[in-house]
Amino acid sequence: MANGVGRLDLDGRPIKPLTICMIGAGGFIGSHLCEKLMTETPHKVLALDVYNDKIKHLLEPDTVEWAGRIQFHRINIKHDSRLEGLVKMADLTINLAAICTPADYNTRPLDTIYSNFIDALPVVKYCSENNKRLIHFSTCEVYGKTIGSFLPKDHPLRQDPEFYVLKEDVSPCIFGSIEKQRWSYACAKQLIERLVYAEGAENGLEFTIVRPFNWIGPRMDFIPGIDGPSEGVPRVLACFSNNLLRREPLKLVDGGESQRTFIYIKDAIEAVLLMIENPERANGHIFNVGNPNNEVTVRQLAEMMTEVYSKVSGETAIESPTIDVSSKEFYGEGYDDSDKRIPDMTIINRQLGWNPKTSLWDLLESTLTYQHTTYAEAIKKATSKPVAS
């Protein structure tokens, strides 16, 4: 089926091969999406990014059956005159480019706002002016805090889904005060969503907005000091993986009380492919893409990852597997957090018939097996002390 012959959309119509301009194709999500498009569809990808390490295996010339269907263009969309030409060459543009690491939101708020709003403006403009469809990647952070988080701690309504489940068409976007710079990201992402939506309403732009809820899997983020900066702070999964690989305690920010839902990258990519291939069902919609069944507190996630890592590595866990740190100590001044993030799945289910499949245990096992296989040796080498001769 690699050539995609005879594939039909959800309404039984043959799927025509598309040319897709993918901005941010070299990142975590981009690499998995490119892989899916190469192995299971006939579509062609113009892959735009600054780096291509995560998609190198797809770019080897002449060795694979999709040679010629993926072209890498080394482009920083900030200031590259080639961008509009590439958008024009494609039927559809997918924009994945973003700074999306919470550690950057209050230490680099200007970069965060520029990369997520200003740099995305030309992409929206070129799609609108050239009548090209746009799938824009936003974030579940646009919801901010839940309504329930403003109720007293022991209030019974905190347990009522109406007060915490996040719905694309109903839930408000609630952010902290301006001095809480953590919300610089969510605010920039919300404003670009409003702009995309307005282009649709005023100028007929065909768009789909994706709000990912913690997509997890191989090739996510980086391991500090190995394939990323030593002082870098990636997102929670890579942070915890790094601690496990180095046999250090996992740092729980403010007691690890925040609740999150996690979804396996391969489940999420299925949803994106349905959006790509069913424009009539996806256009004009905002979609939550997450797994409401995989909810845990960050503390529970740490405990579960410790257990799973022991299983995949064959090493016993260290004596004190977690340590509490304050958010000020970990992230610096101006940090704030969402209490709980559970996606409502009604719209994506109705429009695309999609549901996530992979349990949290299984996705952690798959991801940590990858982390262990990929990084354990490199970390041993990096941490072994040179012996004096």
Structure tokens at 182: 């953590």
Contact at 8 Å (CB) between 77 and 114? Answer: no
Catalytic one of 143, 185, 331, 375: 185
Contact at 8 Å (CB) between 334 and 182? Answer: yes
Contact at 8 Å (CB) between 156 and 211? Answer: no
Task: Calculate the dihedral angle through the C-alpha atoms of 8, 14, 19, 25, rounding to the nearest 10 degrees.
Answer: 0
Bridge-partner residues for 8, per DSSP?
14
309-339 burial, b for 16+ CB within 10 Å, e for fewer? bbebbeeeeeeebbeeeebeebbeebbbbbe
Structure tokens at 121: 């403006």
Structure tokens at 166: 């996040």
Bridge-partner residues for 135, per DSSP?
94, 208
33-67 burial, b for 16+ CB within 10 Å, e for fewer? bbbbbbeebbbbbbbbbeebebbeebeeeeebebe
Q: Is 51 a catalytic residue?
A: no
Q: Which residues are catalytic?
A: 185
